[in-house]
Amino acid sequence: MTTVQLTGRTRARLRVYCLPPSGCGPEYYAPWTRCAPAELDICSFSLPGRGQRSGEPSQTDPRRLAADIAEAIDRCHDPRPFAVFGHSVGALMAYLATCSLRHSKNRTPHLLALSALPAPHLGLYTAALPARLAAGLAGLTDLIGPLPENLIHTPMAAALCTPILADLLLLMHYRHSREETPLDLPLALYGGTHDPITDTSSLTAWNELVTTPATPRLFPGAHTYPADHTDALVHQLTHDLADACTTDRACG
């Protein structure tokens, strides 16, 4: 597992580890570097089978991948306060990596920020995703946005969809453990107003898995809303990080 420093701000007060959505690599968060304030150091991960590592076998065991992500975070030996953010399938990995950090490293982020995914204990993944797969490209565009017309009927379209399918398998392989105790940390929730995958109630249900509940912040758009509202999302995340740190001297 490789940690990718997108901003490389060694003097920033806070580090944000960002987990990419289905089929994407760390480049998904490259637009964040132009609007993130100087106090944030933006990082991501190069995951096997995604992005520039698309030629490698994808990891479809969610708990094993989460443990690898947690190990990569701990291996950075960065003493600064940090947050973990995940969009779509990245939200599940952000949550599981945080659980793994708590169990194996006895540490947790100052903020867990999750975007556009139903809470895992609802069991909606196995119920909803097969229908998306059966719908072919039409179903996948709900998850990744529209593909360019010139790619739809070419081998390139299949190549683009392969890592996405692997991430959907990762979601469907997940089974929530009722023995997992709530995470004792601040939570932030984000979503799109017209997301066909995640409605407000299934997003709000993440509150049942933490001790500090959050009200979802909704942005105009569907499941892929971050691409159109990068500035607004990063601004909200910065605000939520500041709130999470107000009572924690380590963020000062």
> What are the tens digits of pLDDT across the range 138-158?
666 666 566 555 544 555 455
Average per-residue pLDDT for the chain: 87
pLDDT over 90, % of the chain: 63
Integer CA distances (angstroms), 35 to 66, 186, 232, 236, in order: 28, 23, 9, 12
- Residue from 88, 150, 79 nearest 110 by CA: 79
pLDDT for 206: 98
pLDDT: is 72 or 48 the higher one? 72
pLDDT for 153: 55
**pLDDT, tens only, 90-102:** 999 999 999 999 9
Q: Is the predicted pLDDT of residue 218 greater than 70, yes or no?
A: yes
pLDDT for 137: 64
Sequence-distant (≥ 6) Cβ neighbours of residue 244 within 8 angstroms: 83, 110, 111, 186, 188, 251
Domains of the chain (ranges, CATH numbers): 2-247 (3.40.50.1820)
